[in-house]
Amino acid sequence: MIPKTYPEFEKSLELSQVPEEWTDGLKAAWYDAKGDWESSHNIAQDMHNTLGSWLHAYLHRKEGDRFNAGYWYRLAKKEYPTITLDEELKSIVDYIIAK
């Protein structure tokens, strides 16, 4: 079941595997929230759209690569964020869910 709210997304983190029917963006966010940066990055880098660029930017920001993150934020047409990483992940998930 695809989450309809961020708390539902958080509850899904209790699962051992990401649901197959989820979109790539939601899967990437889930893997990151589960602490699997590599799986999240593998999905994001294969998403050739604005959301993929945003996820990619967020992930490089998370790893501390400001230069690379800045490149991806520009591709996503987003300003470099001043919010926390947790707040940004919630923004990304909320954006995905609202689509």
In a domain, 62, yes or no: yes
- With respect to residue 64, please indicate whether it lies within any of the assigned structural domains: yes
| Residue 1 forms part of a structural domain | no
7-15: long-range pairs with CB below 8 Å, 24+: 9/33, 9/93, 9/97
Q: Give residue-wise pLDDT tens across range 36-95.
A: 999 999 999 999 999 999 999 999 999 999 999 999 999 999 999 999 999 999 999 999
Model confidence pTM above 0.85: yes
Query: Into how many domains does the chain fold?
Result: 1
Structural domain span for residue 19: 6-98
Q: What is the mean pLDDT of residues 12-38?
A: 97
**Residue 46 falls inside a structural domain:** yes
pLDDT at 99: 83
Decide if 73 is inside a domain: yes
Residue 25 has pLDDT above 90, yes or no: yes
CB under 8 Å, gap of 24 or more: what pairs does 33-37 form?
Answer: 33/9, 33/89, 37/62, 37/63
| 89 within some domain | yes
Tell me, yes or no, whether 86 lies in a domain: yes
Residue 13 and residue 69: Cα distance in Å, rounded?
25
Decide if pLDDT at 7 tops 90.
yes
Q: How far apart (Å, rounded) are the C-alpha atoms in residues 54 and 87?
A: 14
The pLDDT of residue 96: 97
